[in-house]
A = this chain, B = another copy of it.
Amino acid sequence: MSGSSFGKAFVVTSAGESHGLGYVVVVDGCPPGVPLDVEQLRAELRRRRPGQSRLVSRRDEPDEPEILSGVVDGHTTGTPVAILVRNVDARPRDYDELVDVYRPGHADFSYEAKYGVRDVRGGGRASGRETLTRVAAGVLARNLLAQACGTRIVGWVERVGDVVAELTDPTRVERDDVERTATRCPDPAAASRMEALIERMRKQGDSIGGVAVVCAQPVPAGLGEPVFDGLDARLAHALFSIPAVVGVEKGSGFAAARMRGSEHNDPFVRDGTGTVRTATNHHGGVLGGISTGMPIVVRLAVKPPSSIARAQRTLRRDRTETELRVRGRHDPCLLPRVVPVAEAMVALVLADALLLQRRMASSSGSG
């Protein structure tokens, strides 16, 4: 019942706030023998960090992970893996003036309604910084998937505002293509225009939304639990739990609303090795909640960041009106930093589904 835990077999539990001493993530249920080392954690956390480029928030948040348990000689032992990332500077300087204001688009008001107490220092659990626990756990999930199935998970930015990437075949995008640009868009021309747009937003004290894609392959057919825990339902849950995500689709998604069955249905075909495939992939790798073996393709809509320098009308806690200008360095566009988080959430869902499916093995084998 804990909302700070995710997964049923590969179970991730997250704790920590930006104003506390640090963040902890515990992964329970990972089989023994999966590789994990601090250097890989550090590298992946760096992808999520602010201050990577001029496009994103310039606050300095060095994320130094420490593996407290569950790993010996660079491999899991089967017991819970706990990872600690301390907050270096928890002083809430930029936020002092926000103590009594409900920032539009932020969770100040809804958290207060929930807990009856105001968490004034930068957002508590709703802070984007919490996503580092997902990225850390996601590294372990990726390693499990890579070891067990050779799965690669690659995300990128498809749209920022009205700028859209054009890609011949999304299943061919590699991480190198993505990391080449600060925007994490593998179409170089679109990447330049996205960068210019984001820079313009910053100068205007405004912000802009966008769309990211995540593709995972190969994914074995048969993952996902009907009825309520279909693989796509779990992916939607996972991605929607990322701050600022406001929409999720798989395969053709909302475009399928305008399609006919004769267009949308993907014919089953046999590939060269005799494996069952589909000729097209409008279904995005999941049918009836269960993976088909085709690439998993999901797309997430991300709203424009709520912290903008422009004046905004809002209320104080005492219900009086005020005008707010959010100061400090904030991302004018979340998309580049959302990519590693979205990849991590996809990895968590797939790792969980993989372990769940193992119990379905023919029961004539031994335990």
Q: Nearest CB to that of A280 among chain B residues? A: B104
CB of A269, distance to nearest CB on chain B (Å): 7
User: Given the complex of chains A and B, what is the CA–CA distance between A111 and B357 in angstroms?
Assistant: 12
Q: How would residues 1 to 25 of chain A score, 1 for a CB under 8 Å from any chain B CB and 0 otherwise?
A: 1111110110111111101111110
- Residue from B227, B256, B304 in contact with A3 in the complex, judged by beta carbons closer than 8 Å: B227
Q: Nearest CB to that of A123 among chain B residues? A: B288
Q: Which residues of B contact A20 (CB under 8 A)?
A: 68-70
B360 touches A359 (CB 8 A): no
B78 touches A360 (CB 8 A): yes
User: Given the complex of chains A and B, what is the CA–CA distance between A90 and B132 in angstroms?
Assistant: 28
Any chain B CB within 8 A of the CB of A168? no
Measured as residues with beta carbon below 8 angstroms from the partner, the interface class of chain A is 35 or more
Q: Which residues of B contact A29 (CB under 8 A)?
A: 1-2, 359
The 8 closest A-B pairs by CB, nearest first: A107-B288, A3-B225, A247-B249, A207-B261, A113-B221, A3-B229, A237-B237, A110-B290
User: Given the complex of chains A and B, what is the CA–CA distance between A159 and B259 in angstroms?
Assistant: 12
A11 touches B17 (CB 8 A): no
Q: Nearest CB to that of A208 among chain B residues? A: B260
Identical chains in the assembly: 4
Instruction: Say yes or no: A110-B288 contact (C-beta < 8 A), given A5-B28, A257-B159, A312-B265.
Output: yes
CB of A30, distance to nearest CB on chain B (Å): 8
Q: Which residues of B contact A260 (CB under 8 A)?
A: 161, 201, 206-209, 304
CB of A90, distance to nearest CB on chain B (Å): 11
Q: How would residues 117 to 158 of chain A score, 1 for a CB under 8 Å from any chain B CB and 0 otherwise?
A: 101000111100010000000000000100111000000000
Instruction: Say yes or no: A26-B13 contact (C-beta < 8 A), given A20-B70, A209-B257, A254-B211.
Output: yes
Any chain B CB within 8 A of the CB of A272? no
26 A-B pairs with C-beta separation under 8 A: A4-B227, A8-B8, A14-B227, A19-B72, A31-B361, A33-B362, A78-B115, A102-B276, A104-B266, A109-B292, A110-B224, A113-B222, A123-B288, A208-B259, A228-B237, A229-B241, A232-B240, A237-B240, A247-B250, A248-B249, A249-B301, A252-B303, A253-B301, A256-B302, A262-B308, A282-B303
In addition to A21-B69, A115-B360, A209-B258, 17 A-B residue pairs with Cβ atoms within 8 Å of each other are A1-B1, A15-B79, A15-B81, A19-B72, A24-B69, A32-B116, A102-B276, A109-B276, A115-B222, A126-B226, A149-B366, A161-B258, A232-B246, A246-B284, A247-B248, A256-B301, A267-B313
Any chain B CB within 8 A of the CB of A223? yes
CB of A309, distance to nearest CB on chain B (Å): 10
Any chain B CB within 8 A of the CB of A62? no
CB of A178, distance to nearest CB on chain B (Å): 18
Q: Which residues of B contact A105 (CB under 8 A)?
A: 261, 264-266, 283, 287
